[in-house]
């Protein structure tokens, strides 16, 4: 398991650094440019997509077949990808929290009425992005990335539409996110349930897949 | 008592357009068995079934005496596999692969791995995508042999290697089986390599096992006879393994006891035997 995670880390480091740069860039805009944390959610979403990028890289290399010859189980192969998704989402959350914190203490942005609590509330959307990203993973684990990416495309279209709706409702390109605590809890619970269900489905589907 | 590293009994796997049909073979510990067959004969399917990568429709497979479905993770600790394509993600290098494998195999030996990389001249820091096919195969061989495996399963391991390196690799495999607990199951199109290497030969054709026999016994039992059609027609059909008719005469592989006296008969090599058998079967 540790070996699988290490491999995913190496692959993510080698192939997903553009996502990281975008995330840090957006984080800097929030922290120093005064933009709303909404913008960083795009970066966070990209990070959660990075685990799918690793899946695609694996498939191109036929790692999934090679891994089957090693003393690891398919349950572990699936688990490594979900853990990677969580790690990347947590990393995004850390960048977001740091950006929010810097913003609140940034003298240049004093008086803009943006609070640290607001920045933190945006964090609750991160589990949602992780679970949202995990929605297409069962398709990929069952059908492979080539076919499973249809789910990925649908997901991206839905995310784009969601962002568009939020922007149009707020009348701002990058609206502020201020989610009440009770809604945050619901989002967290739903996200965790979706993520867990996705994990279980991927495991069940991948166990019986034949290459 | 000689134990078997691999025991396969009545193994069957059905696909829409192909059936691996009732395969039975044993690979004794300390021996090397070569799987020979044309493309699509069922070699890779057999290897995948042994590793439990696909599910079987019938029969039994035992690895080191235990059903492969019950203890495959444990068994894989003792198996080194070189698949026909080494599935390393392109951005990784050999050094990173070593660190990954050290966390996957309990018995991974970093020093042994480094020695193999050096011996096979595989650069440690070059990305996998920048390696030639031969170099990728050599990295696969180093990975397969660095955790003290008891069994090597090799799918076309020498393809893409130049003749000099191929010879070195064949020597490495020979060294590996000096230990009587070490065995190799190898599939290859390069029959000359298998002839150099193997103790046992198994012929697969269209999903059926045509024969599985000791190599020396095969070479001992059969002869290639050259002559006119009339010369060959004297040989009982049941003794003829296969024949090839050319404008210059007929070549036939026959049981040595059926070689007519005075006929021009020579030793047969494994490639000839395989080609003639396949032609007879159609």
pLDDT, tens digit, for every residue of B12-37?
999 988 999 899 999 998 899 999 88
pLDDT at A171: 64
Residue A9 has, within 13 A of its CA and on its CB side, a CA count of 13
Residue A140, min C-alpha distance to chain B (Å): 17
Distance CA B246, CA B265 (A): 17
Tell me which residues of chain B have a C-beta less than 8 Å from any C-beta of chain A: 48, 51, 53-55, 73-74, 76-77, 79, 81, 83, 85-92, 96, 99-106, 128, 153
The 10 Å Cβ neighbour count of residue B146 is 24
Q: Would you call A25 an interface residue with chain B, using a CB distance cutoff of 8 Å?
A: no
pTM for the structure as a whole = 0.83
Q: What are phi and psi of A13, to 5 degrees?
A: -65, -35
Residue A72: closest CA among B51, B193, B41, B269: B51
How confident is residue A175, by pLDDT bands cut at 50, 70 and 90?
low
CB contact under 8 A, B54 and A210: yes
Predicted confidence (pLDDT) per residue in B140-179, tens digit: 999 999 999 999 999 888 777 788 878 888 888 888 888 8
pLDDT at A154: 81
CB contact under 8 A, B104 and A70: yes
Distance CA A32, CA A147 (A): 41
CB pairs under 8 A between A and B: 82
Predicted confidence (pLDDT) per residue in A121-130, tens digit: 556 666 766 7
User: Stretch A137-148: mean pLDDT, rounded?
Assistant: 84
pLDDT at A121: 58
Predicted confidence (pLDDT) per residue in A91-123, tens digit: 877 787 787 778 777 777 665 655 656 656 556
For residues B252 and B240, the answer to whether their CB atoms sit within 8 Å is: yes
How confident is residue A38, by pLDDT bands cut at 50, 70 and 90?
low
Note whether ipTM > 0.90 here. Answer: no
Beta-carbon contacts of B152 under 8 Å, excluding residues fewer than 6 positions away, are B79, B80, B81, B82, B144, B145, B173, B176, B182, B183, B184, B185, B186
How confident is residue A39, by pLDDT bands cut at 50, 70 and 90?
low
pLDDT at B238: 75
How confident is residue B128, by pLDDT bands cut at 50, 70 and 90?
very high
Residues of B in contact with A6 (CB under 8 A): 99-100, 103
Residue A46, min C-alpha distance to chain B (Å): 20
How confident is residue A177, by pLDDT bands cut at 50, 70 and 90?
low
Mean pLDDT taken over chain A: 78
pLDDT at A45 exceeding the cut of 80: no
pLDDT at B120 exceeding the cut of 60: yes
pLDDT at A204 exceeding the cut of 80: yes
Distance CA B243, CA B263 (A): 15
């Amino acid at each position: 398991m540790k070996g699988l995670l290490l491999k995913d880390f190496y692959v993510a480091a080698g192939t997903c650094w553009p996502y990281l740069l975008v995330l840090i860039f957006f984080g800097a805009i929030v922290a120093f440019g005064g933009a709303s944390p909404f913008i960083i959610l795009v970066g966070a979403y990209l990070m959660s997509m990075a685990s799918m990028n690793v899946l695609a890289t694996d498939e191109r290399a036929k790692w999934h077949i090679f891994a089957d010859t090693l003393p690891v189980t398919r349950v572990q192969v699936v688990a490594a990808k979900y853990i990677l998704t969580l790690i990347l989402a947590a990393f995004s959350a850390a960048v977001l929290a740091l950006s929010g914190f810097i913003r609140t203490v940034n003298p240049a942005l004093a008086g803009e009425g943006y609070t640290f609590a607001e920045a933190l509330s945006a964090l609750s959307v991160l589990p949602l992005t992780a679970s949202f990203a995990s929605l297409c993973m069962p398709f990929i684990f069952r059908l492979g990335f080539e076919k499973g990416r249809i789910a990925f495309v649908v997901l991206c279209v839905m995310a784009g539409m969601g962002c568009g709706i939020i922007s149009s409702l707020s009348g701002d390109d990058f609206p502020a996110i201020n989610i009440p605590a009770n809604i945050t809890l619901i989002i967290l619970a739903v996200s965790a349930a979706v993520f867990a269900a996705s994990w279980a489905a991927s495991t069940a589907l991948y166990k019986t897949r034949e290459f | 008592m000689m134990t078997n590293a691999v025991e396969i009994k009545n193994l069957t796997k059905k696909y829409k357009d192909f059936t691996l049909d009732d395969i039975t073979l044993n690979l004794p510990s300390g021996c090397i068995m070569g799987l020979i067959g044309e493309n699509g004969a069922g070699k890779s399917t057999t290897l995948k079934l042994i590793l439990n990568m696909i599910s079987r429709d019938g029969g039994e497979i035992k690895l080191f005496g235990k059903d492969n479905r019950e203890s495959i993770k444990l068994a894989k600790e003792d198996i080194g596999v070189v698949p026909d394509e080494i599935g390393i993600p392109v951005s990784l290098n050999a050094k990173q692969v070593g660190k990954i494998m050290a966390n996957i195999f309990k018995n991974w030996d970093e020093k042994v791995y480094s020695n193999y990389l050096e011996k096979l001249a595989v650069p440690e820091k070059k990305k996998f995508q920048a390696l030639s096919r031969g170099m990728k195969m050599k990295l696969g061989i180093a990975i397969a042999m660095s955790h003290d495996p008891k069994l090597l399963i090799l799918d076309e391991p020498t393809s893409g290697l130049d003749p000099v390196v191929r010879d070195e690799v064949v020597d490495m495999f020979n060294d590996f089986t000096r230990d009587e607990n070490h065995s190799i199951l190898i599939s290859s199109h390069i029959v000359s390599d298998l002839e150099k290497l193997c103790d046992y030969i198994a012929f697969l054709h269209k999903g059926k096992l045509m024969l599985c026999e000791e190599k020396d016994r095969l070479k001992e039992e059969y002869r290639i006879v050259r002559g006119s059609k009339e010369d060959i027609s004297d040989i009982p059909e049941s003794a003829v393994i296969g024949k090839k008719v050319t404008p210059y005469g007929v070549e036939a592989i026959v049981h040595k006891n059926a070689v007519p006296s005075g006929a021009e008969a020579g030793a047969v090599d494994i490639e000839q035997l395989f080609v003639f058998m396949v032609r007879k079967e159609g």
